Structure 1
Amino acid sequence: MPTLPITANYRRHGDGWAVTVRTAEKVLDAVAPGLIAARVQADQLVDEISGGNEDRAVVHMLDGDAYAFSVVYLHTRHGLPLRRDASTPHDQSIDP
């Protein structure tokens, strides 16, 4: 069976975060109070949307940008402040 491509796209949703997990055939959504909680929700949605398929590839994105998600998520996960001069425009307006 070929690898199942999955995307998880995060965006601000009021005071929290929304995440949309998508394959070519299916879309699932969730909201969470913080970015770390949204990442946990995404993992649960990936398990659901993949239907037990262990051969899957997931790309996590912030407003469609995988690099921006990596920067913001890792800073949040490690309790580091985001630099205002960072290379991604998302860093200017994100509060984890």
Structure 2
Amino acid sequence: MMEPIEANYVPDGDDWTITIVGRGKTLTATAPGLIAARDRADQLVEELAGDEKTRTVVHRLDGDALEFTTAYLHARLAKPAEPVAEKPAEDKPAEKKAAEPAGDEPAQAATSS
């Protein structure tokens, strides 16, 4: 029975450090973002395993396969954040104008013919 290849991912700021262990070797790389790190891990596994037709790779986030799967699915399926639109500056409330001119008679509406 073949021994699995282990791919371990560790966050490093905005980047990820990937360590591939198997077949008596260890390969390390970094990548920007988890999706890019997963792609880079595939490349390293190819380099490590070569022409092997069947191989098992266990991907782990800080040593935990379930954590990796959860984080990877979130990264893959998350909708990109929409840019926040700036609110237009609110105008100062207009000063209230007198509804009727001074005097006893109400103002008459203008009519057009």
CA distance in 2, matches of 1:71, 1:15: 18
Say whether the 8 Å CA contact 2:23–2:48 is kept in structure 1.
Answer: no
1:3 is displaced (CA, Å) by 2.8
Deviations 1:54-87 (A, max 9, x none): 211000000000000000100110016xxxxxxx
Say whether the 8 Å CA contact 2:23–2:49 is kept in structure 1.
Answer: no
Structure 2: where are the runs of 5+ without partners? 80-113
1:47 aligns with 2:14: no
CA distance in 1, matches of 2:40, 2:18: 8
Say whether the 8 Å CA contact 1:4–1:50 is kept in structure 2.
Answer: no
Bigger RCO of structures 1 and 2 (CA < 8 A, at least 6 apart)? 1
Matches for 1:1-96 after TM superposition, within 5 Å: 2-79=1-78
The residue type equivalent to 2:47 in the other structure is E
Segment of structure 1 superposing worse, 47-56 or 65-74:
47-56
Residues 49 and 42 (structure 1), Cα distance of their counterparts in 2 relative to 1, 3 Å cut: same
The residue type equivalent to 1:53 in the other structure is E
The residue type equivalent to 1:58 in the other structure is V
Q: Equivalent pairs: percent with the same residue?
A: 52
1:15 is displaced (CA, Å) by 2.1
Moved over 6 A (4+): none
Structure 1: where are the runs of 5+ without partners? 81-96
**If each structure's strand is expressed as a fraction of its own residues, which one has the higher value?**
1
Q: Which has the larger radius of gyration?
A: 2
The CA RMSD over aligned residues, in Å, is: 1.6
**If each structure's helix is expressed as a fraction of its own residues, which one has the higher value?**
1
